[in-house]
Amino acid sequence: MSTTEKFTKLFSELKGCDEDDQRQKIEEMIEILNEMNIDEMDNILNMEIYDEIDKMIEEQKLPMEEATSWTKNIGRCKALKSLHNNCFDGSLLCIRIEQIIVDENEKEKGEMNEKLLIDLYECCFMMYDHYLPHDFLSLCIPCLLKVSLKKEENEEAKKDVEIALLALSSFALWETLEQELYLNEIAEIIQYHQEHHNLTQLAYQSAWQFLMILLYIDKSLEEVIVNELHFVKEARMELEELEKSVNWKRKEEGKGKKEEKEVWIIKRWIQTLEKFFLSCSLWNEEYEEIIGSIVGVFRASKDKYREICKGCISSFRGVVVNRYAKIEGLLKGGAVDVALEEIIQSSFDCSQIEDYLYFFRDFCSRLKEKMENESDEAKRKEMKRKVFEKMEEEGYQDWIIGFHRCVYERKSYSRFLTEDIEDYYVFI
């Protein structure tokens, strides 16, 4: 049986089970979700599933406590693998959870079920795919940060902190949040870990991802992120440690859960770095080093995990389109080299060629921008020369001419990519 068939079979058996059997089957379903790839998860986690869970609660065939724990675990799988499919939003289970949250918050302070509220807040953050309203965020962010501030070393506390931070890294934001809601707390969480290493790798990555969501809206956070919390240095160390811990050469049938989780954490770091590159205005030599670390991940993952390569190229493009970024870091860090190697080796039907073309189009555009400062202009010309020589050595221009003839003249490629062949060239 496929993983999807196993999941469906277990789900269909839930109604006729007692609580112990239900709990066992739910644990098995969560394990199956952990093993699924993102496409399998997208297919199985539909609105019908959530409505059916709600129906079992309504018919008293599934305790609310068990349903909440189950939903939180589904949310964890969704958040870890960055699945967005909008199926939970508006489902009957979603409506029920929202109402319970409202009811609990209307109670007097001493009557509130705080543990239930934390569980439901985590469910909402990890399950929702739409923007959450400001009033809701101002209620639950301080609550989840309070959980994340736990400093106990036992495994249960670490697990609580990890899920709270994973939830905080999963919400969508469309307006600025008051910094007093979160900044002191998240800074304390990150700095305490830097001194004591109390967080799991996923929890630490999630803490940073939470800050990147906020930075994307509030650029005033960059000073704290870069100069006080030392994001670039920390991200580089984490990425390099994770890369070393994965057996990239393993056979597919030999996958281990620990290794698989580390691969997902690497994917999340790459996504976090892309957000940062798009948002940052402070730029120094550390950025070249982290470009080199991303290049290392690219080379290690390209035989088994093409989606990681796609993320790496997207992060490089985040540097290119950010007008504050110094693009020589892409040359010194090796990003131009790996992009050239890949695009030259690819066949014309490669699904990822578009990402490389976007990168080279934008990179070449930046190289053509003249600098006002005489010294900077000299550096730009020298960089153009080096890039031109690399492209000439790899046969890049011949490839572009062939690609243009085969694809653009048939009008069969993306309408967002320019048809002017010179946009993908560097001239010296």
Q: Give backbone dihedrals phi and psi of 229, rounded to 5 degrees, phi first.
A: -100, -10
Instruction: Output 193-198 pairs: Cβ under 8 A, ≥24 positions apart.
Output: 194/230, 194/234, 196/151, 198/151, 198/153, 198/158
| Per-residue model confidence (pLDDT) at position 254 | 46
Taking only the tens place, the pLDDT of each residue in 174-203 is: 888 999 999 999 999 999 999 999 999 999
Six-digit token pair at 156?
Answer: 């249960």
| Per-residue model confidence (pLDDT) at position 87 | 94
Amino acid in the structure at residue 53: I
Domain ranges of the chain: 1-130
Six-digit token pair at 422?
Answer: 């010179």
Taking only the tens place, the pLDDT of each residue in 73-129 is: 999 999 999 999 989 998 999 999 999 999 999 998 888 899 999 999 999 999 998
| Per-residue model confidence (pLDDT) at position 256 | 47
Taking only the tens place, the pLDDT of each residue in 227-263 is: 999 999 999 999 999 999 998 886 554 444 555 789 9
| Per-residue model confidence (pLDDT) at position 351 | 63
Per-residue CA distances from 143 to 10, 137, 146, 177, 191 (Å): 34, 10, 5, 15, 20
CA separation for the pair 298, 310 (Å, rounded):
9
Percent with pLDDT over 70 in the chain: 95
- The torsion region of residue 197 among left (phi > 0), alpha (psi -120 to 50) and beta comes to left
Six-digit token pair at 117?
Answer: 């509220």
Six-digit token pair at 403?
Answer: 């690609």
CA atoms within 13 A on the CB side of 341: 11
| Per-residue model confidence (pLDDT) at position 274 | 95
Mark the ranges of the chain whose per-residue pLDDT is less than 70.
250-259, 347-351, 409-415
pTM: 0.93
Contacts of 131 by beta carbon, 8 Å cutoff, 6+ apart: 172, 173, 174
**Do residues 57 and 67 touch, judged by C-beta distance below 8 A?**
yes
CA separation for the pair 161, 147 (Å, rounded):
6
| Per-residue model confidence (pLDDT) at position 420 | 87
Helices 3-12 and 19-35, axial angle in degrees (round to 10): 160
